[in-house]
Amino acid sequence: MTQASFFERYRRLLVAAAIVAVVAVVGAGLVSSATRAAYECSSVWVPDPTPAPAEGASAQPGYVQPDMGHVHVATGTQIKYTYCPPASGRHFNATGVGPIRAQLYGPEDAVVPEGWIHNLEHGALVVLYRDPTADQTALKALFDAVPNSPVCGFEPGGQSPGPLVARFADMAWPYAALVWDRVLPLETVDQQAILDFYAMFGEKTNPEMLCTPPSAQPSGAPSSSATPSAVPSTSAAPSVAAPSAPSESVSPSAPASASPS
């Protein structure tokens, strides 16, 4: 009588072991995918110090951050940003996920930069706070104080792309105000500094305008108001732009390298 081979004798055990191994590998992959961060940061950005402005020069609040492009990606795509907090970069383009609703988001709200970067692309003011214990009363007062947008004249909130206030943990300061490609680091909710920053740069640096900016008028002539070209879109066609070379920083109104508190 021919003796059964090792595989024939232990076939059931080997098959069961193989199934267990496959299930373990697939399960580990699913757990890894489920627990993977929604985004990554190559570096927590701290701008280089800049010299004081020349006497009589206009203040230029905040810092220029090197542009990371503005490519639209599929919802759920994990993105690694070169600089955090990102004031540009790849982002989602779908209803409800990018751009997201302009409002004050609490510490427990699941808000990711892939969503609000699309708001920045449309000219919004985004204010970030790092810690869950941030001063929500001051943030609410700031949100309520933001005026109509400086170029297009959109009323805050609702269908407007901004303002938007959300928690973002990966930054060197307790607070930061952002418009496209510019960051204003803050140690406190300095309402006036944020409003001045927005008035100077809001809707002036972003690549996708939602209105036709007013044309320059001869001296003494009345200026024409901006004409809205569209309501903030949540499903615009993808736009692609290659990252530009790093820009020179401008003179700050805040310390250049505040240490994390």
Per-residue model confidence as pLDDT tens digits over 133-146:
999 999 999 999 99
Nearest CA to 120 out of 53, 181, 47 is that of 181
Helix (H) or strand (E) holding 139: helix 136-145
Q: What is the structure's pLDDT at 252?
A: 42
- Map 149-201 to HEC letters: CCCCCCCCCECCCCCEEEECCCCCCCEEEEECCEEEEECCCCHHHHHHHHHHH
Structural contact between residues 129 and 175, judged by C-beta atoms closer than 8 angstroms? yes
Question: Does residue 40 belong to any structural domain of this protein?
Answer: no
The answer to whether position 38 is within a domain reads: no
Q: Is residue 11 part of a domain?
A: no
CA-CA distance, 198 to 63, in Å (whole number)?
A: 13
How far lies 214's CA from each of 136, 142, 149, 150, 153, in Å?
36, 27, 13, 11, 11
Q: What is the pLDDT of residues 94-103, one digit of tens each?
A: 998 999 999 9
Residue type, 48: D
pLDDT at 22: 43
3-class DSSP state of 228:
strand
What CA dihedral angle connects 59, 61, 65 and 70, to 10 degrees? Answer: -100
pLDDT tens column, 197-206: 999 999 999 9
8 in any annotated domain: no
* pLDDT at residue number 157: 87
Contacts of residue 146, defined as CB under 8 A and 6 or more positions apart, other chains included, come to: 125, 156, 162, 163, 195, 198
**Phi/psi of residue 178, nearest 5 degrees:** -130, 140
The verdict on residue 91 lying in a domain is yes
Give the domain extent around 157.
58-214+226-243
How confident is the model at residue 213, as a pLDDT?
79
Confidence at residue 94, expressed as pLDDT on a 0 to 100 scale: 94
Q: Per the domain annotation, does 4 fall within a domain? A: no
Q: In the structure encoding, which two tokens stand for residue 220, read together?
A: 């003494």
Distant-in-sequence contacts of 209-212, Cβ < 8 A, 24+ apart: 209/122, 209/123, 209/151, 209/152, 210/122, 210/123, 210/152, 210/154, 210/161, 211/151, 211/152, 211/153, 211/154
- Specify if 92 maps to a domain: yes
pLDDT means per 10 residues, the chain with 261 residues, are 57 58 41 58 91 75 96 93 98 94 95 97 97 97 97 89 97 98 97 97 95 63 54 41 39 40 37
132 to 17, 144, 214: CA distances (angstroms): 46, 20, 41
Any domain includes 155: yes
Q: What pLDDT score was predicted for residue 173?
A: 97
Give me the residues paired with residue 126 across strands: 164, 178
Domain count, the chain: 1
What angle separates helix 191-201 from helix 136-145, to the nearest 10 degrees? 40
